[in-house]
Structure 1
Amino acid sequence: MSTPTVTTGPLRRVPVQGRSVARVQRMLDACAELVDEVGYEGLTTTLLAERAEVAIGSVYQFFPDKRAIVQALAMRNMDAYLQDLSTRFGRETFAHWWDGVDAGIDAYISMHRSVPGFRTLHFGDVVDVHLLDAERDNNAVIAERLAELLVDQFQLMDRVRLRFALQIAVEAADALINLAFRRDPVGDEAVLVEAKALIREYLHRHVDA
């Protein structure tokens, strides 16, 4: 397993030494646990320091506030999602590019089920719809990165049209997956099946690739 990376975006200071990197990862792990337990509003830097077993000064050494910590966690989640998707693309053979989108939905569902904090935080919408990027909303960032993976994997053309369709698909899938996990803590399978069928049908009809 590769060593987790620490995104530099919201960090006040980038950790260099191994101990500092590990300390920041503990803070992000603690943040993930706490947002599931108390939500973003209940999260405090004091609680986070206690859970991560670090001094409060260590938190502020790397992060200016709790929003920056959650932003770093959201970015780590995005990196993990894209890495998982790249791995799936590398080991599986897809009959068509929208099967790759199917894999993207599966990866997103898997993170809801297995990654602490993800079901609460997603890619940061609970805090700010522009948490990943100041200019684009979080789902638009994910749709853009998914488009890049699909174009690279399947040598697709007409990227503007593709990216627009994927943004619609990502928004729809996000809403339906959230519904599935509101109905059932592990995801209502009937809703998830319908979500995948809806997205597949939409892409099949609206993007001629």
Structure 2
Amino acid sequence: MSQTSVTSARSTAALIRNEPVQARSTARLAALLDAAAAVIDEIGYERLTTAMVAERAGASIGTVYRYFPDRIAVLQSLSARNFERVVERIDSAVESSADSIAAVGAIFDTLVDAVRTEPGFASLRVGDVIDLRPAEGEPFNAVVADHLVDALVAKFEIDGGDETRLRVQVGYEVADALVARAFAADPAGDAELLTRARQLLHDIVVPGRH
């Protein structure tokens, strides 16, 4: 992960009440987040409660509160895990691409695949949908966009200046919103909307290249 991502992203460990240091505690935390993700897939993040997490995980409510002070902390921790996982997928997609143009398409496909396969991701994604005031730190989507630029610069030695970063940030925000809409309208993903979103990302990030 790039230095920008490391310093800007809120880690899962920073969001939980007691950082697990033993394998059993780590497994328990993972089970709680898995349970939260499963509930979110069924009813959305807005209605999630700590009691639902406890019930789905087969744990006591006290166990949930041992790690999370409230439902917002659960959502923040799950979004941080989503962030870490999608960044890993993006890195792999960029690394396996032949050039930067192909990498942009691969990044979009990675985002769509995360929606389809990562529990809880379709609704929560990397957490910017959570309405928190005041906002805490840099939006996750902006951190993901910066990481995309860093990955593309490292692999293909493209210009990583402010203009490139702005284009990638705008492109990612547009793609994220349209992908969310595509799956809200159709559980399988509206094919036409996804195709248009993929093209828009390409046009914004690499204008004039077709």
TM-score (norm 2): 0.86
Match of 2:98 among 66, 69, 94: 94
Deviation string 1:10-31 (CA, Å, 9 cap, x unpaired) is 1111101111000000000000
Corresponding residue SS for 1:205: coil
- 1:151 maps to what in 2? 153
Q: Which runs of 5+ in 2 are unaligned?
A: 1-10
CA distance in 1, matches of 2:118, 2:94: 20
Cα deviation 1:114-158 (Å, max 9, x = unaligned) = 111111111113323789x82322321211111111111111224
What residue is the counterpart of 2:140 in the other structure? 138
What is the aligned length?
Answer: 199
Once superposed, what is the RMSD of the aligned Cα atoms? 2.1
Amino acid at match of 1:169: G
Aligned residue for 2:54?
Answer: 49
Contact 1:180 1:187 in 2 (8 A): yes
- 1:3 is matched with which residue? none
Aligned to 1:36: 41
CA distance in 2, matches of 1:41, 1:183: 18
Amino acid in the other structure paired with 1:159: G
State the partner residue of 2:176: 174
Percent identity over the alignment is 37
**Which of structures 1 and 2 has the larger relative contact order (alpha carbons within 8 angstroms, sep 6+)?**
2
The whole-number CA distance in structure 1 between the counterparts of 2:203 and 2:70 is 43
Counterpart CA distance in 2 for 1:161 and 1:113 is 31
Pick closer, same or farther for the CA change 1:174–1:93 going to 2, 3 Å. closer
Aligned to 1:59: 64
2:191 is matched with which residue?
Answer: 189
- Of 74, 87, 93, 1:69 maps to 74
Letter in 1 for 2:97: T
Q: Could you tell me how far 1:179 is from its partner in structure 2? A: 2.2
Using a 3 Å threshold, how does the CA distance of structure 1 residues 165 and 137 change in structure 2: closer, same or farther?
Answer: same
- Offset, 1:105: 0.8
2:207 aligns to what SS in structure 1? helix
Amino acid at match of 2:164: L
SS of equivalent residue, structure 1 residue 128: coil
List gaps (5 residues or longer) in structure 1: 1-5
For residues 41 and 18 of structure 2, the distance between their equivalents in structure 1, rounded to whole angstroms, comes to: 26
1-structure distance, mates of 2:192, 2:138 = 32
Find the partner of 1:128 among 128, 131, 152. 131
